[in-house]
Amino acid sequence: MSMQEKLDQLNKLRQIVEAGGGQKRIDKQHESGKKTARERINELFDPGSFREIDVFAASEDDWIFNNKTPGEGVTCGYGTIAGRKVYIFAQDFTVVGGSLGRVHAAKICKTLDMAMKVGAPVIGICDSGGARIQEGVDALNGYGEIFYRNTIASGVIPQISVIMGPCAGGAVYSPALTDFIFMVSGTSQMFITGPLVIKATTGEDVSMEALGGAATHNQISGVAHFMANNEEECIAQIKALLSYLPSNNLEEPPTYAPVEPSVDKEILVDIVPTDPNKGYEVRDIINAVVDGGSFFEVHQYYATNGVVGFARINGQPVGIIANQPRILAGCLDINVSDKIARHIRFCDCFNLPIITFMDVPGFLPGVQQEYGGIIRHGAKMLYAYSEATVPKITIILRKAYGGAYLAMCANALRADMTFAWPTAEIAVMGPEGAVNVINRKELSEAENPIELRKKLVEDYRNRFANPYLASARGFIQDVIDPRDTREKIINALWNMSTKRETRPRKKHGNIPM
């Protein structure tokens, strides 16, 4: 066979692989509102930058003559997104339903290994019918090999999972082990057991979308972090997320030109209501402090009594954590504790300073919260903030009561710089509750307990519910004009940019799970 004949054969084989499951199956994929694996890759990566690996991988030695699974149902490789190196594996539903077999898993494992070796983020696009049943234990072992690598890579390189089709059974645990999960409304589903199995075992009747759709996992379970209306929007979200992250744990996040905030800082003077029982929109404060248009929220629809995300301040990426007074008065409950603790730990893994905006009246009271383990879940926040060694800057906006004050990164949990607005109230509990405890006897004997309680509450608020006692003890570095918040944070970030912290040597801690 001449060289030209060999080249013709190579081109023919490459065309077979790139054609996936063939035009009929590609058309069916498009009809269901989904793109093919290669179309998704081309939209994600800079034009012409993608380089495929293991192009001709196969589970059969005679695949050239009996080609049933071109590419083994997954396309793997690397390229650049906004000029930065990124690895990817994208399951191809047009080839045996994107099912995972031994070689399919081996391709994914090699992608993860290479990403770790070169220190680049990895994106996994899931669109699969599950394990390739005919391969039996080889398929199960393949999942296990992927899970192991997801775990070893955690905290070393950013790992992003994108659900763009079905993801069921054991397959869901690889995304669950990664840092972020993106889903698309209407075409993404994740569940351990499908509707038919649930119907047969428990009698519950539920649709695939209600059981494991994007809305379910973004709003109810908290399994997913982002929800998009379509695949194009999802890809734009992925690119936005990557712009805040370093390529690995040894690098600093990328910096950009500073941009003035999108909200006028003058709103900060009156944004906190004088009535302690009234809420306000904490995102307005965030947007008046961070670079304009840079706030990128994570877990937007889950545990909405807290707000977490990324932003840039003076061009520098940071992690944002805030109580949301509009929802449950900003109380900490089980779900928001998990949400915040998880975000703290991600930021600490990848060298993102943490900016905390505090307005918290306490942990949410209630029998269900106690039965659900609020003690255990709240402890995750204490652990995560205490363990984090990145710069930690806390702004106390209004309420800072009891254990929740500590849980939102008070000085004792090693906040590097703590600032308070003049509206800050730092105390063991709110004035009303404190008066009920301290002055119980006096109130029970009073001729006019309502008027007396009102006076005692006002006295307590004036004397204790202010930032100056904490400031006098060195727990707060400064009480500031709200309009100076951005400037103070910028200066604190500059000051803490050379921060170094040593901790006792140990294998690892034991976070309360």
Can you say how many angstroms the Cα of residue 125 is from the centroid of all Cα atoms in its chain? 17
Active site residue 169: yes
Give the rounded percent of residues in the chain with a pLDDT score beyond 90: 83
Structure tokens at 392: 């930690």
Give the rounded percent of residues in the chain with a pLDDT score beyond 70: 99
Cα radius of gyration (the chain): 26
User: Which residues fall within 8 angstroms of residue 59, CB to CB, at 6 or more apart?
Assistant: 69, 72, 101, 102, 103, 135
Residue 409's region, left for phi above 0, alpha for psi from -120 to 50, else beta, is: left
pLDDT tens-digit series, residues 292-321: 999 999 999 999 999 999 999 999 999 999
The answer to whether residue 65 scores a pLDDT higher than 60 is no
How sure is the predictor about 206, in pLDDT bands with cuts at 50, 70 and 90? very high
Structure tokens at 368: 């269900």
The answer to whether residue 66 scores a pLDDT higher than 70 is no
Of 357 and 432, the one with more pLDDT = 357
Report the C-alpha gap between 194 and 214 in whole angstroms. Answer: 15
How sure is the predictor about 64, in pLDDT bands with cuts at 50, 70 and 90? low
Half-sphere exposure of 350 (CA within 13 A, CB side): 28
The pLDDT mean for the chain works out to: 94
Is domain 3-242 given the CATH code 3.40.50.80 in the classification? no
Q: Indicate if 265-430+465-498 has the same CATH topology as 3-242.
A: yes
Active site residue 90: no
pLDDT tens-digit series, residues 73-116: 999 999 999 999 999 999 999 999 999 999 999 999 999 999 99
User: Which residues fall within 8 angstroms of residue 151, CB to CB, at 6 or more apart?
Assistant: 177
User: Which residues fall within 8 angstroms of residue 249, CB to CB, at 6 or more apart?
Assistant: 155, 156, 157, 349, 350, 351
- Burial of residue 226 (CB within 10 Å: 0-12, 13-18, 19+) is buried
How sure is the predictor about 68, in pLDDT bands with cuts at 50, 70 and 90? confident
Active site residue 170: yes
Report the C-alpha gap between 461 and 467 in whole angstroms. Answer: 11
At residue 266's C-alpha, the angle toward residues 264 and 270, to 5°, is: 125
Domain range 265-430+465-498, its CATH number among 3.30.43.10, 3.90.226.10, 3.20.20.150, 3.40.50.300: 3.90.226.10
Q: In the 8-state DSSP scheme, what is residue 293?
A: T
Can you say how many angstroms the Cα of residue 164 is from the centroid of all Cα atoms in its chain? 18
- What pLDDT is recorded for position 458? 83
pTM for the full predicted model: 0.95
Q: Which of 230, 113, 105, 227 is nearest to 171 (CA)?
A: 105
Of 428 and 406, the one with more pLDDT = 406
361, 399 Cβ separation under 8 angstroms:
yes
Q: Which of 347, 349, 404, 397 is nearest to 381 (CA)?
A: 404
How sure is the predictor about 62, in pLDDT bands with cuts at 50, 70 and 90? low
Mean pLDDT of 389-406: 96
Of 404, 410, 465, 492, which is the active-site residue? 404
- What pLDDT is recorded for position 462? 78
- What pLDDT is recorded for position 433? 79
Report the C-alpha gap between 435 and 401 in whole angstroms. Answer: 14
Return the domain boundaries, the chain: 3-242, 265-430+465-498
Residue 114's region, left for phi above 0, alpha for psi from -120 to 50, else beta, is: alpha
Q: Which of 53, 32, 49, 33 is nearest to 41 (CA)?
A: 49
Helix (H, G, I), strand (E, B), or coil: what is residue 447? Answer: coil
How sure is the predictor about 437, in pLDDT bands with cuts at 50, 70 and 90? confident
Q: 16-52 as b/e, with b when 16 or more CB fall inside 10 Å?
A: bbebbbeeebbeebeeeebbbbbebbeebbeeeebeb
Of 403, 410, 420, 424, which is the active-site residue? 403
- What pLDDT is recorded for position 373? 97
The answer to whether residue 445 scores a pLDDT higher than 80 is no
Of 170, 315, 372, 402, which is the active-site residue? 170
- Burial of residue 140 (CB within 10 Å: 0-12, 13-18, 19+) is middle
How sure is the predictor about 175, in pLDDT bands with cuts at 50, 70 and 90? very high
The percent helix, strand, coil of the chain (3-state, each to 5) is 45, 20, 35
Structure tokens at 20: 């996936």
Active site residue 97: no
Of 131 and 163, the one with more pLDDT = 163
The answer to whether residue 20 scores a pLDDT higher than 60 is yes
- Maximal CA-CA distance, the chain: 109
For residues 397, 401, 403, 407, the Cα torsion angle rounded to the nearest 10 degrees is: -10
Q: Which of 455, 418, 429 is nearest to 331 (CA)?
A: 429
- What pLDDT is recorded for position 447? 79
Of 169, 186, 292, 433, which is the active-site residue? 169
Helix (H, G, I), strand (E, B), or coil: what is residue 276? Answer: coil
